[in-house]
């Protein structure tokens, strides 16, 4: 029923994003998280207590390394030094999955803009992103999962919609899809599309990991704009979309992310537990 | 428009805060009255991300000038010195130098040195791991080799020399620190920042300690380094100082072949 070729070695259970404020609790005792995800760029320093903590935890939890700085959409190509830093980290940690975003953050002159900026979905951008993904997979020696972004603007010049663009990348590069259900919902609302229709158009057989997170809502002169700030519990429409997604993809690793106004660890674990409930629903297992 | 040009124009729009770029706006979907609001989300994200990095690295500088002034100063820095590597633990290395030249803050001449101290703490936190030198290893060095020994600082150990009481000002801004009014602003200080058991620590150095450690950084043999220390501090006692440093893990274990050859 499900295409398992694209699954990663992560368990089809709910994990959480590991953030610095929670490190002491993880080091003190085992926590009920099925797996952990880190932002790779937070662990590229030569040493120090955070890297030490991660190396200690690595043996106890399956690990996903989520890059936020490779800039797969950069017209000027990828930064060889950054690829080498990531490769060094990944060879040491041997994560069960690695991922990056369909976005750009490094400008042609090398300036790093510290945000996931939107691409026009043109043939030119497709060729650039595909070449960058191929180079990254080669240099990192691993298959990448590429995440659908949350976006706040679109470009007039387009040859593809986002789902079609991602499908082409999967087809051309063999990369997998990290389906961020919150991003899908945020972008759909911000651009007046139907989230379910976008979901149906995505290359769901390539999904290797799912993300959920909270977003903020701001009023504008033309209606609501959703901001993907990872600063609150998951919104109800996003839970509903997660349930719909899992019915289509089958069992899949689901990650709860929380990056601003980081709460106490139990709050984060409770969100993961709710996601675990949706996973149990589709496998028919009792809790 | 090619993607490279689009990305360059968007970079300028995000960092400069200048007026709208008609060529960029012409590329956007949605109605023109929505453009500024939609672009503002990205502008806020970029500024917020980089500002948070500087706030985390320079908390005492922020307390000294106040949040509003720090934000304005940091945003000027971000526009003039954006990062060029996607690794943000290293972003802010140029901030102390920027503060030296930043005219609105010339009234606070010690501010840049406080920033240097905070950056040294940041470097100490992220520096490479290394085995600290132990008393046994030091004791195993034959007496006739000691004069020529080059002591190595642990990669996390940093030395600072300032015409201002940077350690005292910093300490007054920690929880439970004394009042800033009690600090003698005429007092020059030498400070060591290091890492022990994963925690960043700092303390004042005596003139002799600073002279000896500074000589070690220049790879002077121990005999010369001690001479420099005694010149600065006639009562300098190497044995007491070494015992303290070994206890604090500020020195690195040298490569064993150096010890046995």
The domain that holds A90 is classified in CATH as 3.20.20.150
Which residues are paired to A209 by β-bridges?
A178
CB B232 within 8 A of CB B207: yes
Q: Verify whether the Cβ–Cβ distance B7 to A220 is below 8 Å.
A: no
Please count the structural domains in chain A: 1
A264, part of any domain? yes
Q: What is the pLDDT of residue B261?
A: 43
Among the partner residues B10, B86, B88, nearest to A79 by beta-carbon distance: B86
CATH number of B130-261: 3.90.930
Continuous H helices in chain A: 23-28, 49-58, 80-93, 123-140, 162-173, 181-190, 195-201, 236-249, 265-283
Q: Does A42 touch chain B (CB under 8 A)?
A: yes
The span from the CA of B15 to the CA of B146, in Å, is 55
What letter would DSSP give residue B13? H
Q: Does B34 touch chain A (CB under 8 A)?
A: yes
Backbone angles phi, psi at B114, to 5 degrees: -65, -40
Continuous H helices in B183-255: 207-217, 222-232, 238-248
pLDDT in tens, A202-251: 999 999 999 999 999 999 999 999 999 999 999 999 999 999 999 999 99
Q: What is the pLDDT of residue A3?
A: 42
A286, part of any domain? no
A66, part of any domain? yes
pLDDT in tens, B37-69: 999 999 999 999 999 999 999 999 999 999 999
Q: Verify whether the Cβ–Cβ distance B126 to A45 is below 8 Å.
A: yes
A187 confidence band (pLDDT: 50, 70, 90)? very high
The span from the CA of B65 to the CA of B114, in Å, is 12
Give the B window 76-115 contacts with A, CB below 8 Å: 82-90
Rounded average pLDDT over A31-35:
97
Q: Verify whether the Cβ–Cβ distance A69 to B8 is below 8 Å.
A: no
The span from the CA of A276 to the CA of A253, in Å, is 10
Q: What is the pLDDT of residue A49?
A: 95
Among the partner residues A47, A85, A109, nearest to B128 by beta-carbon distance: A47
A79, part of any domain? yes
A2, part of any domain? no
The span from the CA of B74 to the CA of B53, in Å, is 10
CB B188 within 8 A of CB B167: no
For the sheet with B189-196, list strands across it: B158-162, B189-196, B199-204
Instruction: Calculate how close chain A gets to B140, using CA atoms only, in Å.
Output: 29
* Residue B43 token pair: 């502008």
| CB-count burial class (<10 Å; 0-12, 13-18, 19+) for B259 | middle
The span from the CA of A33 to the CA of A255, in Å, is 10
A6, part of any domain? no
Is the entire prediction scored with pTM above 0.90?
Answer: yes
| CB-count burial class (<10 Å; 0-12, 13-18, 19+) for B226 | buried
Give the A window 117-146 contacts with B, CB below 8 Å: 117-120, 122, 124-125, 128
Cβ partners under 8 Å of residue B256, min gap 6:
none
Neighbouring C-beta atoms of residue B32, cutoff 10 Å:
10
> Which own/partner pairs from A90-95 qualify as long-range (CB within 8 Å, at least 24 positions apart)?
A90/A40, A90/A65, A90/A140, A90/A141, A90/A142, A91/A141, A92/A55, A93/A54, A93/A55, A93/A58, A93/A63, A93/A65, A95/A63, A95/A64, A95/A65
Give chain B's length: 261
Range of the structural domain that residue A274 is part of: 14-281
Q: Verify whether the Cβ–Cβ distance A113 to B46 is below 8 Å.
A: yes
- pLDDT 10s per residue in chain B (261 long)? 999 999 999 999 999 866 789 999 999 999 999 999 999 999 999 999 999 999 999 999 999 999 999 999 999 999 999 999 999 999 999 999 999 999 999 899 999 999 999 999 999 999 999 999 999 999 998 889 889 999 999 999 999 999 999 999 999 999 998 888 899 999 999 999 999 999 999 999 999 999 999 999 999 999 999 999 999 999 999 999 999 999 999 999 876 545 544
Q: List chain B residues with CB under 8 Å of A259.
A: none
The span from the CA of B234 to the CA of B206, in Å, is 11
Dihedral sign (CA B27, B28, B34, B36): negative
* Residue A116 token pair: 């996931």
A3, part of any domain? no
Q: What is the pLDDT of residue A1?
A: 33
The span from the CA of B90 to the CA of A199, in Å, is 39
Among the partner residues A108, A115, A220, nearest to B45 by beta-carbon distance: A115
| Residue A68: closest C-alpha in chain B | B86
A4, part of any domain? no
A7 confidence band (pLDDT: 50, 70, 90)? low
Backbone angles phi, psi at B236, to 5 degrees: -55, 130
Q: What is the pLDDT of residue A41?
A: 97
């Amino acid at each position: 029923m499900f295409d398992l070729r694209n699954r990663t070695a992560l368990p089809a259970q709910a994990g959480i994003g590991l953030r610095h404020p929670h490190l002491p609790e993880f080091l003190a005792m085992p926590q009920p998280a099925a797996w952990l995800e880190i932002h790779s760029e937070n662990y590229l320093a030569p040493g120090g207590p955070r890297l030490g903590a991660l190396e200690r935890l690595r043996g106890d939890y399956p690990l996903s390394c989520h890059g936020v700085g490779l800039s797969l959409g950069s017209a000027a190509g990828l930064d060889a030094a950054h690829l080498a830093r990531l490769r060094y980290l990944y060879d040491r940690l041997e994560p069960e999955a690695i991922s990056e975003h369909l976005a750009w953050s490094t400008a042609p002159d090398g300036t790093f803009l510290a945000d996931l900026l939107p691409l026009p979905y043109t043939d030119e951008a497709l060729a650039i992103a595909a070449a960058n993904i191929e180079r990254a997979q080669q240099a990192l020696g691993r298959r990448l999962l590429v995440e659908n972004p949350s976006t706040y603007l679109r470009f007039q010049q387009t040859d593809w919609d986002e789902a079609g663009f991602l499908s082409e990348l999967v087809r051309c590069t063999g990369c997998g899809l990290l389906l961020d259900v919150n991003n899908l919902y945020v972008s759909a609302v911000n651009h007046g599309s139907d989230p379910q229709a976008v979901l149906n158009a995505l290359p769901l057989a390539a999904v290797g990991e799912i993300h959920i997170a909270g977003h903020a809502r701001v009023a504008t002169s033309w209606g609501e704009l959703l901001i993907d700030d990872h600063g609150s519990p998951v919104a109800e429409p996003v839970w509903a979309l997660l349930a719909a997604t899992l019915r289509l993809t089958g069992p899949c690793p689901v990650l709860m992310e929380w990056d601003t106004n980081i709460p106490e660890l139990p709050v984060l674990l409770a969100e993961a537990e709710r996601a675990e409930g949706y996973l149990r629903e589709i496998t028919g297992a009792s809790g | 428009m090619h993607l490279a040009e689009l990305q360059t124009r968007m970079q300028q729009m995000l960092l400069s805060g200048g007026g709208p770029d008609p060529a960029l706006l012409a590329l956007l979907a949605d109605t023109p009255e929505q453009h500024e609001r939609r672009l503002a989300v990205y502008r806020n994200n970029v500024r917020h991300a980089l500002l948070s990095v500087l706030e985390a690295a320079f908390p005492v500088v922020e307390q000294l000038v106040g949040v509003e002034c720090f934000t304005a100063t940091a945003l000027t820095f971000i526009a003039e010195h954006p990062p060029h590597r996607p690794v943000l633990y290293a972003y802010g290395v140029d901030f102390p130098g920027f503060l030296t030249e930043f005219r609105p803050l010339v009234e606070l001449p010690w501010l840049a040195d406080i920033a240097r101290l905070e950056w040294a703490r940041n470097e100490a936190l992220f520096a490479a791991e290394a085995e600290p030198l132990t008393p046994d290893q030091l004791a195993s060095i034959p007496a006739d080799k000691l004069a020529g020994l080059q002591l190595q600082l642990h990669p996390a150990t940093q030395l600072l020399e300032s015409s201002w009481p940077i350690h005292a000002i910093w300490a007054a801004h920690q929880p439970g620190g004394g009042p800033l009014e009690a600090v003698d602003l005429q007092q020059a200080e030498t400070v060591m920042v290091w890492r022990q058991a994963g925690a960043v620590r700092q303390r004042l150095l005596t003139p002799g300690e600073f002279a000896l450690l500074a000589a070690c950084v220049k790879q002077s043999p121990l005999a010369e380094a001690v001479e420099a220390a005694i010149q600065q501090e006639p009562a300098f006692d190497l044995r007491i100082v070494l015992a303290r440093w070994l206890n604090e893990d500020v020195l690195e274990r040298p490569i064993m072949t150096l010890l046995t050859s």
